[in-house]
Amino acid sequence: MSAAGVTGSTASPQEAGAGSSPSAALQVPRFAAKELTVKPVSVRVARQVCEVRHYLGSYPGGALLNFGIFVGNLLLGVAVLGVGPTNLHRLFQEAKRQEVICLARLWLDDRLGRNSESRTLGYILRMLRREQSTVKALVAYSDPTAGHTGTIYRAAGFLYLGESTAMPLYQLPDGSIHHSRSLSHRYGTHSRKHFASYGVEVELVEQLPKHTYVALIDPSWRDRLTRSVIPYPKQGDR
């Protein structure tokens, strides 16, 4: 199955069951990681959870694949894979844009037990390897400003490529914060001058570099990396 085929098989909010409402997750007891399953969900379901539960408070622009993390019929998390930064594919020699994608959002309810994140990523990687042939690598970024160094990616076997180039975020007057791609996807541009011409002041929010991890869907692509694989950062490293 192609990546587009996986997208086409998403479930509707009704098919997701009572757990498709993020608030339902607050009413369940803690579950062990081994109890969870991962399957496609609709854009509507993924967007709702990202906007309500993810620390960025937004659904990413350029989203391609949406997965729900379930225990039975209860939706207890989402993972969204998307196109990521414009030059993401340049992490690999002669790669096409559609061959390298990004883990744009990952949120799991706290009531899911330890190792649930890495187990979720394992499910997704196996699904990509089994059901499509287009995507060759999945890139993930770990944000040190949110206290993350990438522990879940190490546990899932991702390779570490060091820190990314720091890119600013854009804050709208309502306080919402967006990546340049998300802003362009929603409004057709991320030009501050354009927004100012309509009386909308957009502020730049400086970011620290993020830790960069990659999982190879096609193992042979390791030889095509344009950056060296280096040891994982230590806890407490920026």
- The rounded distance, in Å, linking the Cα atoms of 130 and 106 is 21
pLDDT tens-digit series, residues 132-143: 999 999 999 998
- Whether 183 has a pLDDT exceeding 60, the answer reads yes
177/71 same-domain check = no
pLDDT band with cut points at 50, 70 and 90 for residue 205: confident
- Please give the residue that has the higher pLDDT: either 210 or 3: 210
- Whether 13 has a pLDDT exceeding 60, the answer reads no
78/97 same-domain check = yes
Average pLDDT over residues 192-209: 81
Number of domains in the chain: 2
% pLDDT > 90, the chain: 57
Cα 221 to Cα 81, 123, 131: the distances in Å are 19, 20, 18
Is the CB of residue 66 less than 8 Å from the CB of residue 107?
no
Where is mean pLDDT largest: 19-28, 147-156, 163-172? 147-156
pLDDT at 186: 73
34 within domain boundaries:
yes
Side-by-side strand order, sheet with 203-205: 177-178, 169-171, 203-205
83 within domain boundaries:
yes
119/18 same-domain check = yes
96/186 same-domain check = no
Is the CB of residue 202 less than 8 Å from the CB of residue 235?
no
pLDDT tens-digit series, residues 70-126: 999 999 999 999 999 889 999 999 999 999 999 999 999 999 988 999 999 999 999
116/197 same-domain check = no
Collect all residues with Cβ–Cβ distance below 8 Å to 24 and sequence separation of at least 6: 18, 74, 75
pLDDT at 232: 93
Global pTM value? 0.75
- The rounded distance, in Å, linking the Cα atoms of 120 and 77 is 9
176: domain range?
Answer: 168-206
pLDDT at 17: 36
- Whether 16 has a pLDDT exceeding 50, the answer reads no
235 within domain boundaries:
no
